[in-house]
Amino acid sequence: METVWAVPAQVDRSLGDDVIGYGVEAEDGSIGTVIRLSPVPGFGHLVIDAGVWRFGRSVVVPAGLVTAVDDSRRTIKVGCTKDQIKDAPRFERDQDTGDLYYLRHLGAYYESLTAAPE
C-alpha cells in the first residue's frame, strides 16, 4: 500500500534535485516553486515557495500527492486544491523539515483528505 509520503507508482519518476525550481500546480491553479526536497527517509515531500499567497510563506506537500511531472514544462501537478494546501498545518520557513512531529501531523491531515468516506 502506498503512503502519502511516497511518489505514486503511476507517476513513473522519482523526485530528485532536478525538480528544484519546477513550478507546482494544484487542481485549481499555481501554488509556487519547489525550493527543496525532503531530507528524511520515508517522508518524501516538496517544500514549495508559495509567496504568491503571502510574502515569504513556504508550504510542504507530501510526495504522494504528486500526480504528474512534466519535464518539458518544468512543472509538477498535485492532486489537491490550493485551499487544501493553505489549510494544511503551517510550515515556517526556518522550521526543520526533519521535524517528525510536524511531518506526522501533516501526513495525518493529507491522509484525511484522501480517505474514502464510509
* Per-residue pLDDT reduced to its tens digit, 34-44: 999 987 888 99
The answer, yes or no, to whether residue 52 has pLDDT greater than 80, is no
Average pLDDT value for the chain: 87
Name the nearest CA neighbour of 44 among 94, 69, 7. Answer: 7
Q: Domain segments of the chain: what residues? A: 9-113
Q: Which pLDDT does position 100 carry in this prediction? A: 83
What's the confidence (pLDDT) of residue 1? 41
Q: Is the pLDDT of residue 91 over 60?
A: yes
Rounded to 10 degrees, the C-alpha dihedral 30/112/35/82 comes to 20
User: 9-113 sits in which CATH class?
Assistant: mainly beta
What's the pLDDT score for residue 98? 66
Give the Cα separation of 115 and 113 in Å (integer).
Answer: 6
The pTM for the full model equals 0.87
Task: Look at residue 55 and tell me whether its pLDDT is greater than 70.
Answer: no
The per-residue pLDDT for range 94-108, each reduced to its tens digit, is 666 668 888 899 999
DSSP 8-class letter at 91: B
CA angle 23/53/24 to nearest 5° reads 15
